[in-house]
Amino acid sequence: MYAHRGDSAHAKDNSIDAFGRAVDAGADGIELDVRRTADGHLILAHDPTHPDIGPLADASLAKIQSIDDSIPTLRQGLAAIPSSLFVNVEVKNHRLEPGFDALRLIVDQTVDEIVAHDDPTRILMSSFDPFSTRRARKILPELAVGQLVTGRTLVGAALRWAQRFGYQTVNVARSHIDESPETLVVEAARRGLLVAVWTVDDPEEIDRLFRAGVAAVITNDPAIGRQVADRLRLSE
């Protein structure tokens, strides 16, 4: 069970506070979002723009943190997450957003940061941009990679892409699953893949997804997810 941007139900997402709360809530892992500043620093932020800053890709790290000190760097974020937890590092690199990196060098920089300052074996790197995930696989073949899916009509394409390049997971929104979760889990397994589903906060739905064989559920409220996972474990 992964905490979506930390415990984002109770703290500002992608913040050190949210990560700490997720740890306290018993999350198995934490999902976070990586962007790059104008002066080349990697920061954690979901949205490309900030109401008081504008496009984050056009601002320096010093300016960003002077205006909003809850925005950490990738290094600060990883350091705040205990080594026993998994981390889903999502690289934000959309062609329609400010700061789009057509060369995908943000992936190189993110991988370099992880290798230099963390344990790559606890990392799953994901992105909606298939060429960013492909680059991650080429740079560090042993790194776990997950393909995020942009829409329900592209689930099949994501499965084929992930299988072709040897990824570990497809990360799918619950609303993108047309058929039953069980059907998707079986199809993914046939291709050597696991399924992660986001973002699910309803305990009954979390329960159903785990029973269907989903490898990971990504939730805004990790305390609820922990309760469901523990109940299922005790019932086995």
Ordered mean pLDDT values, 10 residues apiece, the chain (236 residues) = 98 98 98 98 98 98 98 98 98 96 98 97 98 97 96 94 98 88 96 98 96 97 96 80
| Domain total in the chain | 1
> Which CATH number goes with the domain that contains 42?
3.20.20.190
Within 13 Å of residue 223, how many CA atoms lie on the same side as its CB? 9
pLDDT at 216: 97
pLDDT of residue 236: 67
Q: How many angstroms separate the Cα of 134 from the Cα of each of 28, 125, 139, 146, 161? A: 26, 11, 9, 10, 9
Residue 77 sits at φ, ψ, to 5 deg, of -65, -45
Q: What is the rounded distance in angstroms from the CA atom of residue 186 to the CA atom of residue 192?
A: 10
Q: What is the pLDDT of residue 178?
A: 72
What pLDDT score does 119 carry?
A: 97
Instruction: Supply the range of the domain harboring residue 191.
Output: 2-235
